[in-house]
Chains A and B, each alone.
Chain A
């Protein structure tokens, strides 16, 4: 698909809006449909589109396997850290109200942070699944 100018132009036009939409779904999850899982998949889709059109090697340069692995772990860690932070502030595990002391702001901050962790993990897992599946044959051929 690298040679076809239609694919290249469309992919270039769509790449940024898809990520913007993913971020909107990520951070607007409290008010509309969406959240970390959906946003993670949408953002991963943008990078997969890039890799499909410009080649897997180019895609792997944008987000390398090592970065992916760190992002995967960082997402889960963020989630767990929010839980431990609320324990440190005198609440129970994942009791977001304890984060700031007020129900409204505590729950908002907790949910946004937790959803961010989910989004990070889902994005990088989806991306590395695609890289692993699509690259297996190429890597073996080398």
Chain B
């Protein structure tokens, strides 16, 4: 119990430290690596909270793939953040106010792991009771995710699918392509218009994309 508390305080302090470092750094490569470290630290915290499934996802997605994708995306942007001159007082006040309200709300939350908390009184007891005995699937997280909440997960999968399609359309040229052959500028612009009305892009396709 005591050890868990010490580990939590250490990890939370580390999270705050990394967050401040991310805010203060203007070198984007460093920011990407630090946000990976942030994810890994949160994953460690989730393990400490016995949420191994969440920790697993955080480590794989947050610390792993996201970092690689960000690094790949760095090819399009300069390595340094543009220094911003304007300090907006109103925006700062709104941020501080919203933060204060959120902190205030924390005091109304049930304590961590309280079995009488509303979230543990609704459908969770049924899931916990049924999953192991009636369904014979020991990992309740999986049964909730894939069976009890199958609709949500279907929606999530569709969101991932749609996001992938969106990026492919924007970056890899997976649109219906109209090949523009070098003709006089008049016909080219006319073709472009025609292509647009068919909802297809008129840019020539990248080699193999």
Contacts and interface: CB of A to CB of B under 8 A. Distances in A.
Interface of A: 25, 29-38, 41-42, 44-45, 48, 52, 60, 65, 69, 72-73, 75-76, 79-80, 83, 93-94, 96, 103-104, 107-108, 110-111, 114-115, 117-118, 121-122, 124-126, 128-137, 139-140, 142
Q: Is the interface of A mostly helix, strand, loop or mixed?
A: helix
Given A29-B142, A128-B168, A132-B167, A76 B150 contact: no
Contacts of B52: 33
Interface of B: 52-53, 55-57, 60-61, 64-65, 68-69, 72-73, 75-76, 134-139, 141-143, 145-147, 150-151, 153-154, 156-158, 160-161, 163-165, 167-168, 171-174, 206-209
A137 B60 CA distance: 26
A134 B157 contact: no
B201 to A, nearest CB: 14
Contacts of B164: 72, 121, 124-125, 128-129
B179 to A, nearest CB: 16
Interface-central residue, B75, B141, B208, by most chain A CB under 10 Å: B208
A41 B207 CA distance: 27
B69 to A, nearest CB: 6
Contacts of B135: 103-104, 107-108
B172 A79 contact: no
A35 to B, nearest CB: 6
Interface of B, secondary structure class, is helix
B77 to A, nearest CB: 11
A142 B209 CA distance: 11
A45 B64 contact: yes
Contacts of A135: 172, 209
Nearest to A77: B161
Given A30-B142, A131-B172, A104 B150 contact: no
Nearest to B135: A107
A-B pairs with lowest CB-CB distance, top 9: A125-B164, A139-B206, A133-B72, A94-B150, A132-B171, A33-B52, A134-B72, A41-B60, A111-B146
A104 B146 contact: no
B206 A122 contact: no
Given A33-B55, A104-B135, 13 more contacts: A30-B139, A31-B138, A31-B139, A33-B56, A37-B61, A38-B56, A41-B64, A65-B208, A76-B161, A111-B142, A124-B164, A129-B167, A133-B73
Contact of B134 (A30, A52, A103): A103
Nearest to B146: A111
A118 B157 CA distance: 6
Contact of B147 (A80, A111, A133): A111
Contact of B206 (A42, A117, A140): A140
A127 to B, nearest CB: 9
A75 B56 CA distance: 21
Contact of B139 (A29, A36, A139): A29
